Chain A
Amino acid sequence: EAGVTQFPSHSVIEKGQTVTLRCDPISGHDNLYWYRRVMGKEIKFLLHFVKESKQDESGMPNNRFLAERTGGTYSTLKVQPAELEDSGVYFCASSQGRIGEKLFFGSGTQLSVL
């Protein structure tokens, strides 16, 4: 089966620009998560979708970040305007159920804001 796919794998933008990251979860997985790892620190939770609804967005850093999951399939994470501290690796993960179900991660998008 196809895994979790993230696009692009790398993105280099200038401060103030906009970037949109995309995640295609495994087909049939209702739960979709975004995580972020900044500068070799801990991987931190950003938000959780159940189908198209935001279940928990407590980890979103500020209102420059907007996540959507229209139709309950793929998800996008837009950063507008990007700041230097937004640089890091953004991971998407999906699971069929909630806790206890295996969480499948994508390989991440490396975002560099210059």
Chain B
Amino acid sequence: AQSVTQPDIHITVSEGASLELRCNYSYGATPYLFWYVQSPGQGLQLLLKYFSGDTLVQGIKGFEAEFKRSQSSFNLRKPSVHWSDAAEYFCAVGAAAAGNKLTFGGGTRVLVKP
């Protein structure tokens, strides 16, 4: 069975500092990997996705993620955080045969200090 682990429940970062959110997955084949963000009162919004090809994926809002098969990781990064990045971030894994039936991690809540 596939699973996703986000080791950090909360992260506090200063505005302008860099951010890295960790995601580790367990899946038998090549996974489809996603990062979603949920801002207060909003639905989940897709930041980026990895299906194949270049292992460094660029997303919206200045985010990027790197797929590392050897480490079963798909960490999310942003070089300089803005106050509006305060939100909860979810890593998810899917399979081609399962459509958009995704397995999510527990989420990481990001707080941004001025």
| B96: chain A residues within 8 A (beta carbon) | 99
B51-82 interface (Cβ within 8 A of A): 51
Q: Does A33 contact B (CB under 8 A)?
A: yes
Q: Does B18 contact A (CB under 8 A)?
A: no
A79-114 interface (Cβ within 8 A of B): 91, 93, 95, 98-108
Given A55-B99, A98-B99, decide whether A103 and B46 contact each other with a Cβ distance below 8 A: yes
B43 touches which of A40, A42, A45, A106 (Cβ 8 Å): A106
Interface size grouping (class) on chain B = 20 to 34
Q: Across the A-B interface, how many residue pairs have beta carbons closer than 8 Å?
A: 66
Closest residue of chain B to A41 (Cβ to Cβ) is B106
Cα–Cα distance between A98 and B102 once the two chains are bound (Å)? 11
Q: Mark B74-114, 1 if CB is under 8 A from A, else 0.
A: 00000000000000001010111011111111110000000
The residues of A with any CB-CB pair to B shorter than 8 Å are 3-4, 31, 33, 35, 40-45, 48, 55-56, 59, 91, 93, 95, 98-108
The residues of B with any CB-CB pair to A shorter than 8 Å are 4, 32, 36, 41-46, 51, 90, 92, 94-96, 98-107
